[in-house]
Amino acid sequence: MSTPTTRTAPAERLFSGPHAATTTVFAAVMFLTGFAALAVIPTLPTAARELDGVSLFPLVAGSFVAASLLGGVLGGHWADRSGAHRPLAAGMALAVITLVVSGASTSIWQLAAGRFLDGLAAGMVAVAVNAAIGQAYPGHLRPRVLALMSTCWIVPSLIGPPLAGVVAQWWSWRAVFLGLAALTLVPALVVVAMLRARSWQPVSGGESGSAGKGPALLAATAVSLGAALGQYGVSEWDARHLLFAAGGLALLVVFAPRLLPPGTWRALRGLPATVLLRGLGSGVFFTLEALVPLMLVTERDAPPPVIGLAFTGAAVAWAASSWVQGHLLERAPRHHLVVAGALVMVVAVAVAAVGTLPGTPVPVAASAMVVAAVGMGLIAPALTVLSLTHSPPDRQGCASGAMQTSQNLGQIMVLGLASAVLNAFPGDGRTEAAGYAAAFGLLLVPCALAALLAARTRAEG
């Protein structure tokens, strides 16, 4: 008779007793940041077209990713030194400011700056939330809290993109940013006030525990700068842009390996190959999510609600595919699922390429994002399990950080290469459509590499 009480007590303690206010704060933080992050993405191609900055769209999309990498390292460093409540409160306040900056953009450069600040805030919030959970909850409650944080993204992923598309269609893309800023201002202020009222102290004593973060922060800063320079460099084909691209590439070559396990670039068996494949898969998926909507808006004049529905479909497809691999395919070797996911991504790339043809219906082209999400739903969880398998218990945190870093680097580098191919074609109708087709065709290379190298991620036994 005591079993039901034993099972439900931990769940009840999350929203009652001493952890009620803390759980409410964390749930509100994740819901607000998730809704804001997912709602603005479908409007970015429309904004880039209106601001006459289509060629710089990769900079707008990539700056968020580059800044989130820096924000994650900065937020972790700050949380270790002073407690997680400070970077969490700062990230929430900055998130509202960035919405205003982006919504009031008068140029593509201001929009890119707003997206960079948004990525910085998102990286700080994501890492600070995880650190705060470790500092505020006992060990037996942490898995439940982390699961709750994931569920807080479900509703934003379902209603955020299509709702933003409708607002952009009936009003303007600026209304999406400014409306989100207005809607989240008061809740964000409440969250910041609650966070400032309570301090979650660092577990291992501030200064000594963060002594090794300096080199990581320097490397993350250099990588973020290199990514921004590279994304700008690939926006045009001339000597000046080539210099920027070369400078950005040099920074990435020098500093990116310092954030990854040794042997990652050579795909050594075990964790290095696993980390590399996370970057390749994420790079393909992120590039499709960036370029397919841009193509539909600029070449096919697709309405924003269609773009929003494509993002929602992709979120549902990813979740469904993840559930299948975790339940119906739980006995399948994880590296086999990586191969299957890579092959599904090949299909997605082919659908995107077909979508560049003028006679292809817009929903068919948009479905490339949904198909790609099915592939990532197989690849991402499988690689996460493999990364933990290849790491001893006391190094699993480092392995998770390397996977996240590789994901960001892969998104930046694959999008940069595809954008360089796209911008090599003049912007005149049929030729520009051929540029999109060539950019999508380039994505077959990382897909093929992921399929071929998957065996190197195999877990022995």
Per-residue pLDDT of the chain (461 residues; tens, 9 = 90+): 434 443 444 444 555 555 666 777 777 777 877 777 778 888 888 888 888 888 888 888 888 888 888 887 787 777 767 777 778 788 888 888 998 998 899 999 999 999 899 888 888 887 777 666 666 666 666 666 666 776 777 778 788 888 888 888 888 889 888 888 888 887 777 777 766 665 555 555 444 444 445 667 788 888 888 888 888 888 778 888 889 889 988 998 898 888 888 898 898 998 899 999 999 999 999 999 989 998 998 888 888 888 888 988 988 888 888 888 877 777 788 889 999 999 999 999 999 999 998 888 999 999 999 999 999 989 988 888 888 788 776 666 567 677 878 888 898 889 989 988 888 876 655 567 888 999 999 999 999 999 999 999 987 75
Q: According to the model, what pLDDT value does residue 396 have?
A: 60
Q: According to the model, what pLDDT value does residue 328 have?
A: 75
60 close to 53: Cβ distance less than 8 angstroms: yes
Residue among 375, 388, 282, 401 nearest 322 (CA): 375
Residue among 221, 228, 234 nearest 123 (CA): 221
Residue among 364, 351, 375, 366 nearest 284 (CA): 375
Q: According to the model, what pLDDT value does residue 1 have?
A: 40
290 close to 412: Cβ distance less than 8 angstroms: no
Q: Which DSSP category does 51 fall into?
A: T
Burial annotation 401-438 (CB, 10 A radius, 16+ → b, else e):
bbbbbbbbbbbbbbbbbbbbbbbebeeeeeebbebbbb
Q: According to the model, what pLDDT value does residue 170 have?
A: 85
With 0-12 / 13-18 / 19 or more C-beta atoms within 10 angstroms meaning exposed / middle / buried, residue 345 is buried
136 close to 109: Cβ distance less than 8 angstroms: no
Q: According to the model, what pLDDT value does residue 128 have?
A: 74
Q: According to the model, what pLDDT value does residue 33 have?
A: 77
Residue among 369, 321, 363 nearest 348 (CA): 369
Assign 171 to helix, strand or coil. coil
311, HSE (Cβ side, Cα atoms, 13 Å):
31
Residue among 359, 386, 373 nearest 286 (CA): 373
Q: According to the model, what pLDDT value does residue 336 have?
A: 92
Q: According to the model, what pLDDT value does residue 144 have?
A: 67
Q: How many residues does the chain have?
A: 461
267 close to 395: Cβ distance less than 8 angstroms: no
- Tokens read off for 99: 């919405």
Phi and psi angles of residue 55, each rounded to the nearest 5 degrees, phi first: -65, -25
Q: What domains can you pick out in the chain, each with its CATH number?
A: 20-211 (1.20.1250.20), 263-461 (1.20.1250.20)
Q: According to the model, what pLDDT value does residue 197 have?
A: 61
How many angstroms separate the first and last alpha carbons of the chain? 40
Task: Report d(CA 377, CA 375) in Å as an integer.
Answer: 5
Q: According to the model, what pLDDT value does residue 21 have?
A: 66
Quote the distance between the C-alpha of residue 322 and its chain's center: 17
- Tokens read off for 212: 């090794």
Return the residue matching tokens 């409440």.
190
CA angle 34, 40, 42 (to 5 degrees): 115
| Number of CB atoms found within 10 A of residue 6's CB | 8
Q: According to the model, what pLDDT value does residue 316 have?
A: 87
